[in-house]
Structure 1
Amino acid sequence: MPASTTPMREAMNGKNHEENEIISWFEEVAENAGRVQTQTLGRIIELNFGVEYLKKWLGHLQFQDIEPTALESLYTSLVPLCSHADINPYIQRIADGDSSPLLTQQPITTLSLSSGTTDGKPKYVPFTRHSAQTTLEIFRLAAAHRSRVYPIRKGGRILEFIYSSKQFKTKGGLGAGTATSHYYASEEFKMKQKLTKSFTCSPEEVISGGDYNQSTYCHLLLGLVLSDKVEFVTSTFAYSIVQAFTAFEEMWEEICKDIKDGSLSPRVTSPEMRNAVLELNSPNPPLASMLEEKCRELKGLDWFSVIPNLWPNAKYVYSIMTGSMQPYTKKLRHYAGSLPLVSADYGSTESWIGVNVDPSSPPDLATFTVIPTFSYFEFIPLSRQKQDSTSAVDDFLEADPLPLSRVKVGEEYEVVLTTFTGLYRYRLGDVVEVAGFYKGTPQLNFICRRKLMLSVNIDKNTEKDLQLAVERGSMHLSRTKAELIDFTSHADLSVQPGHYKIYWEIKGQVDDEILKECCRGMDESFNDYGYLVSRKSRSIGPLELCIVEKGTFKKVLDYFIENGAAMSQFKTPRCTSNPVIIGILNRCSIKHFHSTAYV
């Protein structure tokens, strides 16, 4: 063996050893998930015993006197389920500078902001060192599983569309921003970069630039400069990748010029970002000419398969593609061509939950295996109400929460979290289905968010119901060259009877008669009993399809970014009651159609 190959082989062996080690660890905790969950709860309670919140429920106990075998039943019998509203007074005190142990014994120096798409405004959630550590851990675990299916070269690069949001200080001086922004600023993220020899194409100045338009341009530019080294393309959400390549369709010529000259477009105004990018972009006329030629060909193909054509060594595209991201997978598949789409892992601002251990599964079949060391998990059994129900409270009936080990395959549940960061029996609001078990730990399908619901009367249609209706209604667009770019909805109660308004942004021209069919098709696709009865009795009016002008959903995105959201964490709200968003949508509506179903 030539001596020069030895270090490379040793490096690969070391990498394989690390991957095998973390997978072996996970196999063991998955096999013993029930016992591990008891231990996890014990560690959380022991670490935080005596904090003000827990004193209300456990103040009469001494931790050392609690029998480990009785811990779970004692904890769940004494500590009630809670929502964010229940812990918000404590979080506000922390934000205002109260440093006493309110939720955790570990000082909380940073607060994360949720995306705000469920309730219309972001929520504060505690972020601690543990949050960053579990993020690094799940990234390593997921990467190890992906590497077994799609091996990547040591020293390759990742075209990673990641963005930090603007951070600010609370009244008490704590840093506040999105969880992704905190992670990108953490030692754990820097460790990931060092462990992978700076895999990410873009430097820190691009990631934390604060302007997603400028950062996207630089991500694309540097990704193309390093095009032969890119192993895969990724972002937190599928939306970000689609947005990036939609922008690329408009600015590829400018990017090619920058590669040719070693320059940087004046659209990038941040001095820090400019200096960092110019340092990495040397003049490369041959690469620029090759890219220009390919882009002209791809433009004629409506940019089909742009990713494997411009990044020939890319193995897959990796992102969250479930839930509200599912509608973007069609466009992502268009850009990815034959490259595999790999669904990323399941988590929330509050906690990571599950890892995708089968990256070869297509996104619509992906399941997420619960990691029993990250939090203590409970599952509230949910059942759909009978079809003759006239209850307007909720579309689910609940039973008592179950521990992880007692859930059943095929049943639906709401996820409840007890975390190391100070959330105790916290109702996440996510509805999941148990798809199976991986050894002793459940594998989940994400179904919907409970609060994201269209309702006018006794009708209850979830985000998933809406997505199915939009999919069926938009099938009529297949007769044209147009495509649905994005959508959202609103239960309009400003007129009587109230009705559903669904907003579409479309690329291309569509005849009005086809749009009328789309509108009727959506109306007929909602099969909720309350909706059917209400439509036929005319206590809910005809569904209204509103076509909005080009760029409307970018205005919605800009609104969220201006109010503290990060591009890497943004999700288009599928159902909104936010008056600002509704105002944008209504001002940008250029055509209106009303369903003729049930006439």
Structure 2
Amino acid sequence: MTVPAISGADTNLEDYDIVRWFEDIADNAAQVQTQILKRIVKLNCNTEYLRNRLGTEVLNIEELEPEVVESLYTSLVPLSSHSDLDPYIQRIADGDDSALLTQEPITMLSLSSGTTDGRQKYVPFTRFSSQSTLQIFRLAAAYRSRVFPIRAGGRILEFVYSSKQFKTRGGLTAGTATTHYFASEEFKTKQKTTKSFTCSPYEVISAGDYKQSTYCHLLLGLLFADQVEFVTSTFAYSLVQAFTAFEDVWQEICEDIRHGTLSSRITITNMRSSVLDYIAPDPALALEIESKCKELNSSNWHCMIPRLWPNAKYVYSIMTGAMQPYLKKLRHYAGDLALVCADYGSTESWIGVNLGPLDPPERVNFTVVPTFSYFEFIPLSLIVNRGSEYSLANDDYEEGEPLPLSKVKIGEQYEVVLTTFTGLYRYRLGDVVEVAGFYKGAPQLNFICRRKLILTVNIDKNTEKDLQMVVEKGSNLLSQKTKSELVDFTSNADTSKNPGHYVVYWEIKGNVEDEVLNECCREMDLAFVDHGYVVSRKTNSIGPLELKIVETGTFRKILEYYIGNGAAMSQFKTPRCTSNQVLLRILGDRTIKQFRSTAYR
């Protein structure tokens, strides 16, 4: 089974063709997977990495059945993490062009965001990476168009951002995966051939300054407001940031539309020139937008998106995992407009497509696309009872032997393992998923959490999902008792004094009485259900939880820190726990109030 060629205009017939293609490979997912693995091994069996592990077992690979290759591969090639592959990737970055991980030379490296484990990692990027990105975009769009048909010639209000590429010591181009994709022929093909295309030209996407790009995205989105079919960004965070920014700049945008000018805040020459090509004085449109914005401002910008973009059919973005805390604010802006969760992938590989656009983000599942990688799943058996509300931390379960895609069971949880066309072999992704069902022969996955433990002081073990549930309980109390809202949050396990304790940082919009914040602090401390945390708090092996309130704009400073160090707005995720001393200094310098929990006294 080969990945279909990407060609031609994006017509209804092509929508039908790509759906038929996916139905066929989903029907035969197990067989497709063995063929994909044989193809990967055949292409790369003479690389240093595979040769050292497979030896001579696959010299006659053409004559071997795919199932035999699968058996040999999984028995001889060990599971790996990024630390196992990093020496090879670093040699590639330094200019070693021998066949280390892939037979074909790797000329580009992607950078992960670095917000999950605190440092950015290099990941090989090849043309297959761009092809698979375009493929999943077309596939997802075909299924969405069944529910939300869009007009030919319409536009997409797309808040996408490229960052700067740079050269490694060995001369390879490095940058974020989104940056590579936006610079690729595949993206240019998509822009030219899809039924709807973005409001913003490439010069806005590639500007490298997210504040200036956001302003231009908003301005151009309003110029083409009646043509906008849907609103999208890679992450829900980017959408919330964009519309929050609009609350501050809408009057300036109206002036630009009224007079056919462009704000002096736009200083990047080629972006300024390209945007001015679209602008002409339009007092009537400016007056219409101004009138709507005054009404929206009086209602705290509720239903901003459907009011300003009346023909938009839905909002489309990644809304699971670390993005879930932004759903409340996004729903505030979207009103009754559908929130459609985008597809499941990572810097390393695309994994699954959302075939149910009407499913709310909290209940979405992703159907594995069996041609993107060879997938394995490590069974995770819970061995510590954490009550009805639990998530998985490193010592809470036993691992079974990795299973192929066809052997997973509904209701069970697994860690995802990838073998990719880009040189990752039995690579532990660190994502925990639950199998919700099957679409034909392809499993459908619910994303549960990142496996990485983020909060621990003693014998306590809490993950990002645990923290999210705790903060949600605290913020629910905040919204019940006040009209204020939680803007963003992070945390730190402070072990500088004995006993150590958790610190949760909140940025809040609105004024809140100290009594309410004290209650929120206590509520969060009691909300941790991890047995190790509860016992440690009762015995004072962990101190009282501390809630610190930071100044308005603190989390924007954190965003700017990451972007200044090479992250792209399109891939940014607020770190939910940090030990980064620069971030802790930003948070500490901008702390304006702090509270200690009175729970467990």
Taking only the aligned residue pairs, the percentage that are identical comes to 70
Tell me the equivalent position of 1:537: 539
Tell me the equivalent position of 2:284: 286
- In the alignment, the residues of structure 1 paired with residue 395 and residue 134 of structure 2 have an alpha-carbon distance, to the nearest angstrom, of 37
- In the alignment, the residues of structure 1 paired with residue 412 and residue 469 of structure 2 have an alpha-carbon distance, to the nearest angstrom, of 20
Return the match for 2:272 from 274, 287, 310: 274
Give the drift of 1:15.
Answer: 1.9
Tell me the equivalent position of 2:217: 219
Q: Cα–Cα, structure 1 residues 247 and 531, in superposed 2: closer, same or farther, change >3 Å?
A: same
* Contact 2:393 2:462 survives alignment (8 Å): no
* Contact 1:376 1:419 survives alignment (8 Å): yes
Tell me the equivalent position of 1:434: 435
* Contact 2:417 2:429 survives alignment (8 Å): yes
Q: Helix, strand or coil: the match of 2:444?
A: strand
- In the alignment, the residues of structure 2 paired with residue 86 and residue 266 of structure 1 have an alpha-carbon distance, to the nearest angstrom, of 49
- In the alignment, the residues of structure 1 paired with residue 260 and residue 104 of structure 2 have an alpha-carbon distance, to the nearest angstrom, of 48
Q: Cα–Cα, structure 1 residues 452 and 238, in superposed 2: closer, same or farther, change >3 Å?
A: farther
* Contact 2:393 2:451 survives alignment (8 Å): no
- In the alignment, the residues of structure 1 paired with residue 287 and residue 41 of structure 2 have an alpha-carbon distance, to the nearest angstrom, of 61
Tell me the equivalent position of 1:516: 518
TM-score calculated relative to the size of structure 1: 0.96
Tell me the equivalent position of 1:363: 361
Question: What are the Cα deviations for residues 27-81 of structure 1, in whole angstroms up to 9, with x where unaligned?
Answer: 1111111111001101111111100000111122212353322121211110000
- In the alignment, the residues of structure 2 paired with residue 222 and residue 200 of structure 1 have an alpha-carbon distance, to the nearest angstrom, of 10
Letter aligned with residue 538 of structure 2: K
Question: What are the Cα deviations for residues 186-217 of structure 1, in whole angstroms up to 9, with x where unaligned?
Answer: 00000000112671000000000010000000
* Contact 2:153 2:195 survives alignment (8 Å): yes
Tell me the equivalent position of 2:118: 120
* Contact 2:10 2:193 survives alignment (8 Å): no
Tell me the equivalent position of 1:9: none
Give the drift of 1:452.
Answer: 4.3
* Contact 1:379 1:401 survives alignment (8 Å): yes
* Contact 2:431 2:451 survives alignment (8 Å): yes
Return the match for 1:593 from 589, 592, 595: 595
Unaligned runs of 5+ in 2: 1-8
Q: Cα–Cα, structure 1 residues 18 and 67, in superposed 2: closer, same or farther, change >3 Å?
A: closer
Letter aligned with residue 45 of structure 2: F
Matched, 1:47 2:49: no
Q: Helix, strand or coil: the match of 1:141?
A: helix
* Contact 2:151 2:196 survives alignment (8 Å): no
Aligned-pair Cα RMSD in Å: 1.4
Give the drift of 1:386.
Answer: 2.2
- In the alignment, the residues of structure 1 paired with residue 31 and residue 440 of structure 2 have an alpha-carbon distance, to the nearest angstrom, of 13
- In the alignment, the residues of structure 2 paired with residue 392 and residue 127 of structure 1 have an alpha-carbon distance, to the nearest angstrom, of 30
* Contact 1:392 1:457 survives alignment (8 Å): no
- In the alignment, the residues of structure 2 paired with residue 58 and residue 73 of structure 1 have an alpha-carbon distance, to the nearest angstrom, of 11
Return the match for 1:237 from 216, 235, 238: 235
Unaligned runs of 5+ in 1: 1-12
Letter aligned with residue 416 of structure 2: V
- In the alignment, the residues of structure 2 paired with residue 471 and residue 364 of structure 1 have an alpha-carbon distance, to the nearest angstrom, of 14
Q: Helix, strand or coil: the match of 2:522?
A: helix
Question: What are the Cα deviations for residues 72-121 of structure 1, in whole angstroms up to 9, with x where unaligned?
Answer: 12111100000000000000010011111100011111100001012101
Question: What are the Cα deviations for residues 542-565 of structure 1, in whole angstroms up to 9, with x where unaligned?
Answer: 111111110000010001000000
* Contact 1:381 1:411 survives alignment (8 Å): yes
Return the match for 1:498 from 486, 497, 500: 500
* Contact 1:115 1:565 survives alignment (8 Å): yes
Letter aligned with residue 72 of structure 2: L
Moved more, 424-433 or 570-579: 570-579
Question: What are the Cα deviations for residues 216-262 of structure 1, in whole angstroms up to 9, with x where unaligned?
Answer: 00000000000010000000000000000000000000000001111
Map 1:130-141 → 2, pairs under 5 A = 130-141=128-139
Tell me the equivalent position of 1:56: 52
Question: What are the Cα deviations for residues 522-544 of structure 1, in whole angstroms up to 9, with x where unaligned?
Answer: 11111111111111111011111
Q: Helix, strand or coil: the match of 2:197?
A: coil
Moved more, 581-590 or 222-231: 581-590
- In the alignment, the residues of structure 2 paired with residue 362 and residue 187 of structure 1 have an alpha-carbon distance, to the nearest angstrom, of 33
Tell me the equivalent position of 1:473: 474
Give the drift of 1:503.
Answer: 0.5
- In the alignment, the residues of structure 2 paired with residue 471 and residue 92 of structure 1 have an alpha-carbon distance, to the nearest angstrom, of 40
Tell me the equivalent position of 1:28: 24
Tell me the equivalent position of 2:412: 411
Tell me the equivalent position of 1:525: 527
* Contact 2:384 2:397 survives alignment (8 Å): no
Return the match for 2:250 from 242, 247, 252: 252
Give the drift of 1:584.
Answer: 1.1
Q: Cα–Cα, structure 1 residues 576 and 385, in superposed 2: closer, same or farther, change >3 Å?
A: farther
* Contact 1:259 1:285 survives alignment (8 Å): yes
Give the drift of 1:473.
Answer: 1.1
Runs of 4+ in 1 over 4 A off after TM superposition: none
Tell me the equivalent position of 2:488: 486
- In the alignment, the residues of structure 1 paired with residue 282 and residue 28 of structure 2 have an alpha-carbon distance, to the nearest angstrom, of 55
Return the match for 1:160 from 152, 158, 161: 158
- In the alignment, the residues of structure 2 paired with residue 313 and residue 543 of structure 1 have an alpha-carbon distance, to the nearest angstrom, of 47
Give the drift of 1:388.
Answer: 9.3
Matched, 1:582 2:580: no
Q: Helix, strand or coil: the match of 2:447?
A: strand
- In the alignment, the residues of structure 2 paired with residue 392 and residue 343 of structure 1 have an alpha-carbon distance, to the nearest angstrom, of 26
Moved more, 464-473 or 131-140: 464-473
* Contact 1:452 1:575 survives alignment (8 Å): no
Letter aligned with residue 559 of structure 2: L
Letter aligned with residue 30 of structure 1: A
- In the alignment, the residues of structure 1 paired with residue 270 and residue 424 of structure 2 have an alpha-carbon distance, to the nearest angstrom, of 38
- In the alignment, the residues of structure 2 paired with residue 201 and residue 443 of structure 1 have an alpha-carbon distance, to the nearest angstrom, of 33
Give the drift of 1:180.
Answer: 0.3
* Contact 1:431 1:449 survives alignment (8 Å): yes
Map 1:330-349 → 2, pairs under 5 A = 330-349=328-347
- In the alignment, the residues of structure 2 paired with residue 289 and residue 386 of structure 1 have an alpha-carbon distance, to the nearest angstrom, of 61
Moved more, 318-327 or 166-175: 166-175
Letter aligned with residue 13 of structure 2: H
Give the drift of 1:365.
Answer: 0.7
* Contact 1:452 1:574 survives alignment (8 Å): no
Letter aligned with residue 424 of structure 1: Y
Letter aligned with residue 121 of structure 2: K
* Contact 2:386 2:529 survives alignment (8 Å): no
Tell me the equivalent position of 1:8: none
Q: Helix, strand or coil: the match of 2:476?
A: helix
